[in-house]
Amino acid sequence: MIAIIQYNAGNIRSVQNALNRLGYESVISDDPTVILAAEKVIFPGVGEASSAMQYLKSKGLDQLIPRITQPFLGICLGQQLMCRFSEEGNTPCLGIFDAQVCRFPAKDKVPHMGWNCVRQRITHPLWHKIANDSRFYFVHSYYVEPDNVNQVAGATEYGHEFAAALSKGSLFAVQFHPEKSQHSGLQLLDNFLHWDGNV
């Protein structure tokens, strides 16, 4: 079973629809028992960091998510919430990745929206059959600034370089939207669905 974490964030149904196109069924849930029983977990979302964290805390998911050991994919807001702290609402987050989330400087056009190239920083099963510098679809006003460069799986340039993908053990997270990124995005999702969590 594939569990998609429900936490009152947007864009969750579009992720489920992308999985359906790939031939996989999934369940959207905020039930810790359902999430722990899943073979794979996806943590997507579009929304605001502080209200998202409040919802996760109300369901005990802020304690559960850092303990998940099965293959886990964070998407957009999901990636940001996996970091230590977000400037959006001055929000303490889940602390899974050694990184903080910063707002793009005022000189940049915000949000960063549209297609951009991702440079692969590491060899990883989720990049299988995806060419380096492939284009993915982004829409976000905050970006991930990592403390630990060894956790950066992919980088993108928008005004300056930032982490487009993070990796740690059986965890992988992306700032872009694979479900909106056509062939490369669907390939990444398919790679995740076949991934055993080993790197």
Burial class (CB within 10 angstroms; exposed 0-12, middle 13-18, buried 19+) of 28: middle
Give the CA radius of gyration of the chain: 15
Measured distance CA(95)–CA(97) in Å, rounded? 6
Q: Average pLDDT, whole number, for the chain? A: 96
- The CA distances from residue 6 to 30, 120, 140, 152, 167, in Å, are 5, 29, 20, 26, 22
What three-state secondary structure class fits 121? Answer: coil
Measured distance CA(123)–CA(32) in Å, rounded? 32
In this structure, whether the domain defined by 2-194 belongs to CATH 3.40.50.880 is answered with: yes
Task: Determine contact, residues 87/100, Cβ cutoff 8 Å.
Answer: yes
Q: Give the pLDDT confidence score for residue 107 in this predicted structure.
A: 76
For residue range 46-87, list pLDDT tens digits in order. 899 999 999 999 999 999 999 999 999 999 999 999 999 999
Q: Give the pLDDT confidence score for residue 91 in this predicted structure.
A: 98
Closest CA to 62 of 46, 47, 84: 84
Q: Give the pLDDT confidence score for residue 11 in this predicted structure.
A: 80
Q: Give the pLDDT confidence score for residue 148 in this predicted structure.
A: 93
Burial class (CB within 10 angstroms; exposed 0-12, middle 13-18, buried 19+) of 18: buried
Q: Give the pLDDT confidence score for residue 106 in this predicted structure.
A: 77
pTM of structure: 0.96
According to DSSP, residue 46 is labeled B
Measured distance CA(28)–CA(16) in Å, rounded? 8
Pick out the chain residues at pLDDT < 70: none
Q: Give the pLDDT confidence score for residue 94 in this predicted structure.
A: 98
Q: Catalytic residue positions?
A: 76, 177, 179
Measured distance CA(100)–CA(81) in Å, rounded? 9
